[in-house]
Amino acid sequence: MDHSTFLPAEPSDVWEVLTSPDGVESWLGEGSDLPAIEGAPLDVADVETGIRRVGRVETVEPGRRLGFVWWPEGRADSDASRVELVLIPDADGTRLDVIELPVVASGVATASLQASNSAWTWRSAAVEMAVSAPVLGRGLTLVC
């Protein structure tokens, strides 16, 4: 599984899509609001899952990093997760790394959640899980 995606565009162009009002609507869903302002609330009409997500922007490093916590509306206690989008210049484009991990529910209420030191990429963990899956006999399928 690889959530490092290569995009054939400069980081500044990718950033514009990620954070401009019409860009946000294009990848998250019409009516979505994800201001590139640390501490700002976000409100996403998530076209991917069909559910409304709310949360808060945590990290804004223009052209480099966008971090936020979000959760399905009304489920902050049980379903909050932290997302980090990292843009890395790569050859003639940009590598976009995405990490999403659950966060401790009680911590969501505080404005100063720190990026987890133990953040791990889907790639490393999922590959190992995929290796383990046949032994577990659970028919685990991971997107590769």
Partner 1 sequence: MPSPDVFDALGDPTRRRILGMLTHGGPTTATRLADDLSISRQAVAKHLDQLRASGLTTVSKVGREARHEVVPARLDQAAAWLDARAREWEGRTRRIEKELARRTAENAG
| Residues 6 or more apart in contact with residue 73 via CB below 8 angstroms | 51, 52, 53, 54
Q: Which is nearer to partner 1, 7 or 45 (CB)?
A: 7
Contact 72, 79 (CB under 8 A): yes
Residues in the chain: 144
Strands in 65-72's sheet, in edge-to-edge order, are 4-7, 93-102, 81-90, 65-72, 51-61, 41-46
Q: Which of 12, 41, 73, 132 binds partner 1 (CB under 8 A)?
A: 132
Please, what is the minimum distance in Å from the beta carbon of residue 61 to partner 1?
Answer: 18
Pairing of strands 41-46, 81-90: unpaired
If one asks whether residue 129 binds partner 1 (CB under 8 A), the answer comes out as: yes
Q: Is 138 in the site for partner 1 (CB under 8 A)?
A: yes
Task: Tell the smallest beta-carbon distance from residue 27 to partner 1 (Å).
Answer: 4
Query: Strand, coil or helix: what is 94?
Result: strand
Size of the site for partner 1 (CB under 8 A): 49
* Binding of residue 33 to partner 1 (CB under 8 A): no
Contact flag: residue 12 with partner 1 (CB under 8 A): no
Assess 36 for contact with partner 1 (CB under 8 A).
Answer: no
Q: Return d(Cα 87, Cα 10) in angstroms, integer.
A: 10
Q: In terms of DSSP bridges, do strands 81-90 and 93-102 run parallel, antiparallel, or are they unpaired?
A: antiparallel
Name the residues that contact partner 1, by CB under 8 A: 1, 3, 5, 7-9, 13-14, 16-18, 23, 26-28, 47-49, 78-79, 81, 96, 98, 100-104, 116-120, 122, 124-126, 128-129, 131-133, 135-136, 138, 140-143
